[in-house]
Amino acid sequence: MTSAAQGSYRRSAGSRWLIGAGAIAFLVMLPILALVMQAVQGSAGLWSHLVSTILPVALLDTLILLSGVGLITAVLGTTTAWLVTAYAFPGRRVLEWALLLPLAVPTYIIAYAYLDILHPVGPVQGAIRWLLGYSSPREFRLPDVRSMTGCILLLGFVLYPYVYIPTRAMFLTQSASLVEAARTLGISRRAVFWHVALPLARPAVAVGVSLALMETLNDIGASEFLGVRTLTVSIYTTWITRSDLPGASQIALSLLLVVVTLVAFEKWARGKQRYSTGAQRNRAFEPRQVSAGLGLVLFITVLLPIVVGFAAPATYLAVEAWKRLEFAGLSARFLGEAFNTIVLATFATILTVLAGLLVSYASRLRPGTTSSWLQRLSTLGYAAPGTVIAIGVLIVSATADRFIDRTAHAWFGVSTGLLFIGSGAALLYAYTVRFLAISAGGIDAGLARIPISFDHASRVLGQSAAGTFRYVHLPLSKAAITAAGLLVFVDCVKELPATLLLRPLNVETFATRLYGEAARGTYEEASIAALSIVAIGILPVIMLSRMGRNGLRP
């Protein structure tokens, strides 16, 4: 095909897909726009009350939490990435992928588990008192984990993989010539890290930290369980406890401003990465073999975050789940919660993947400024915390429900009730808005690997854009679509804030059951549900570890 014919084909074929992508972008932006309108409609007196009472404490706690979690994730992620990359010691190959395991444990499950593990009459403090010869918690007890310090430590140990993954990728692709040049100048291996490797990997560290901080902002369970009153927790309590939707909307806007700041920081850091990309063409440096004693020290050092962030809470959940099964068996409620969790996550995954396909394929057919902006707007929901998205979706869904109910009552004399909120459609909408970026990003990466000449050949053979997608792109990008769907499914299972706010009455999922039992202090009752979430969360970790072995090994 000539260049003119190719351009004409793309314009004609992509118009309908572009309109569909525009509709998706509008649906994603609608909750955020509704949130802004609801916040603006709130009275000035309400905003003054929030500024004088709720926001100062919530904003200060949020900033302290972000600072602490950012520091710990940066230190843990960078240190572990360097140790398993620069040094060869027994067990290193296992630790490389085991360091990803904390990704399988949602933050609220970490808090749930350690509240019991570190309880004054729990196993850890009981063992310490036994070793020291004390017989009562009144004689000796550790500081309460329900504190800002406890929340920072626990979130840091579960979120450090967000820094570990991009930083280790950067270390693996750094040129051996840079390290060898530094070594010939008499610089030690430790100094190479500080003066060569770390400066080159600084943008990757910044990107990882910003992602970890956005996950911290999305957290509601861990912060509330541990007594930290963040902006996210304030949004939830303002809406649920006080039934104050305008107030919750105004706090959500404040949280959205914090998110925008983090996103801008992440974009700046990502843009600064281009100076080190040329190193990928050179030979990667080999890890240095260490002595048996130093190897043991390195093994224990790298193992520590794995134990704290995954092994200890997973073991606790397994033990408690076994006790619960032996005592009372598998409850009927568990089967209902499993059904609700899987059905909601499955339908949300289907909707999200379909929307991601529409957005990504429209961008392929009509590349340019318009499709680029539509794709960015469509994926904006992932940057906003689940609580913010849920409040926006709640406003949109409630407005639609009221309009449909009034129309049906006026025309047919019947009341339709809460169609969207009561049926779970609002929750599926929130899941789709929240995780569309994962779907579109994975599918877009898969489509990018297919040469554009395949599209031209299909056109010459008489296929339409839809036919080309069905017979060419869909089979060739099946693996990318499956991977994106898996990630969306797992995130839907783990999502707590949106589920808490938008689930229909009397509908419990694994996440909401765990939240309720932890709030009541009956930890053993939800151990099976928590262990099920962790088991499901391991699936993308396995996928990431295989990608790391295949794509990052020097």
**Do 164 and 151 lie in a common domain?**
yes
Exposure on the CB side of residue 165, measured as CA atoms within 13 A? 20
Query: Vertex 122, ends 116 and 123: CA angle to 5°?
Result: 115
On whether both 157 and 261 belong to a single domain, the answer is yes
**The pLDDT of residue 198:** 74
Distance CA 189, CA 312 (A): 33
Q: Using alpha carbons, select from 440, 438, 540 the residue that is nearest to residue 211.
A: 438
133 belongs to a structural domain: yes
Residue 12 confidence (pLDDT): 54
Domain count, the chain: 2
Token pair, residue 445, equals 């990466």
User: Is 302 in the same domain as 236?
Assistant: yes
Domain range for 337: 1-38+332-506
Q: Is the same domain home to 66 and 155? A: yes
Rounded Cα–Cα distance for residues 122 and 134 (Å): 14
Q: Is 87 helix (H, G, I), strand (E, B) or coil?
A: strand
Name the residue with tokens 């490389």. Answer: 96
33 with 57, same domain: the answer is no
Per-residue pLDDT of the chain (554 residues; tens, 9 = 90+): 455 555 554 555 567 788 888 899 899 999 988 888 887 776 556 667 777 777 888 889 989 999 999 999 999 999 999 899 888 889 888 998 899 999 888 888 898 889 888 888 878 888 888 888 887 777 777 888 889 999 999 999 999 999 998 888 888 776 556 666 666 666 666 677 777 777 777 888 888 888 888 889 888 888 888 889 888 888 888 777 777 777 778 788 778 788 777 767 666 655 555 444 444 445 556 777 888 889 899 999 999 999 999 999 999 888 888 888 887 777 778 888 999 999 999 999 999 999 999 988 888 888 888 888 888 888 788 878 888 888 889 999 989 989 998 888 888 888 888 888 888 999 999 999 999 988 888 888 888 888 888 877 887 777 777 778 888 888 888 888 888 888 899 989 999 888 988 998 888 999 998 888 877 767 677 788 888 899 888 888 887 776 655 544 44
C-beta of residue 159 within 8 angstroms of C-beta of residue 69: yes
The CA distance from 23 to 378, in Å, is 9
Helices (H), strands (E): how many in the chain? 28, 2
Quote the CA–CA distance of 73 and 88 in Å, as a whole number.
Answer: 23
Distance, CA of 431 to CA of 439 (rounded, Å): 12
Answer whether residue 516 is part of any domain. no
- Residue 114: inside a domain, yes or no? yes
pLDDT computed for residue 219 by the predictor: 85
**Rounded to whole angstroms, how far apart are CA atoms 523 and 507?**
20
- Would residue 107 count as lying in a domain? yes
Same domain, yes or no: 64 and 167: yes
pLDDT the model gives residue 549: 52
- The pLDDT score that the predictor gives to residue 266 is 62
Residues 7 and 115 in one domain: no
Closest to 540 measured CA to CA, from 492, 480, 502, 486: 486
Residue type, 350: I
User: Quick one: 438 and 364 in the same domain?
Assistant: yes
Domain co-membership, 34 together with 77: no
500 in the same domain as 370: yes
3-class state of residue 243 by DSSP: coil
Q: Under DSSP, is residue 320 helix (H, G, I), strand (E, B) or coil?
A: helix
Within-domain flag for 9: yes
**Would 127 be classed as within a structural domain?**
yes
Instruction: Specify whether 231 is located in the same domain as 251.
Output: yes
Considering the domain architecture, whether residues 161 and 69 belong to the same structural domain is answered as yes
Q: Which of 118, 100, 161, 232 is nearest to 496 (CA)?
A: 232
Residue 514 located in a structural domain: no
b/e per residue, 472-509, with b = 16+ CB within 10 A? bbeeebeebbebbbbbbbbbbbbbbbbbbbbbeeebbb
Domain of 493, CATH number, reads: 1.10.3720.10
Spell out the SS3 assignment of 125-191: HHHHHHHHCCCCCCCCCCCCCCCHHHHHHHHHHHHCHHHHHHHHHHHHHCEHHHHHHHHHCCCCHHH
- In a domain, residue 456? The reply is yes
b/e map of 521-534 (b: 16 or more CB within 10 Å)? eebebbbbbbbbbb
